[in-house]
Structure 1
Amino acid sequence: MTSTPVALVLLTAQRHHLEDHPQEQALSAAWQKRLQSARAAGHLVVHVQWDGALGTPGETFSRGWVLHPDFRAETGDLPLRATHPNAFAGSGLDAELRRRGVTELHLLTLPGTEMLPATAEAARGLGYGVRVLETQPQMLGTPG
């Protein structure tokens, strides 16, 4: 197993987060560039799948729960099931990151999600450096 100090954590790459988003294609393209850059740099990529309650768009094992088709876990990536809103709570994420030598997290998410502050706060509390990579609408070339 390769040690890497940085992990790119995709917090909102499930189908129900992106599929009906008005800027789905632009978000996907921007996030794919970040993903390619992270992989090229040898960073760990973490794909978070949030377990959702019955009847919600992200209901566990539903169509909306799976990763968006543009984002697939590849060999060496870390697929992770988590419970809303903190990716560290009960998921084993901290142990996996420490085992791989990760000290800094780059959190990629849609703006305004409650998973971002909860996960970022937990990460900082555990001693990780945190960089937020929210994609703002104005960055996509569309009026915000």
Structure 2
Amino acid sequence: MQGSQKVIDLLNKQLTLELSSMDQYLAHSKMYEDWGLSRLHHKLAHEYEEELDHAKRITERILFLEGTPDTASRAPIKVGENVQEMLENDLAAEITVKDHLKKVIAVCEEEQDYVSREMLEALLDDTEMDHIYWLEQHIGLIKLIGLPNYIQSQMSGGDPT
């Protein structure tokens, strides 16, 4: 089914953002693993998988709309040098993803592409309610208990939430 080129172009931009976030989560996850921060490693590995799922869903939609998915492009990623910087960089990336999702959703509505809109709304829910909420919560924990105590709390292999 031939889709709106405007929607396809914006979906490709969203795909770039999702893949870029995925790359950043991978780097941070592996850094946490190397530093012995098991809980953060497992959480970020999970976020990597979710971003991969988002990218797959967007790719499938672009193909359905008879577009060509751009799986090579990436936005610049910001790999942090310490735990707080890494969390803040991940939050900034997720806010960029959220803002662009809202833009694409609005264009899908204008172009009457309700299926793409619905898919993107599910991604927006995941981005806001899982990714952003968790990052804001953990940055808040650093402010509440201090960075050394936060880091210590992330060393065990238990549930990262």
TM-score by length of 1: 0.34
Structure with more of its chain in strand, by fraction: 1
**TM-score, normalised on structure 2?**
0.32
Q: Point out the structure with max Rg over C-alpha.
A: 2
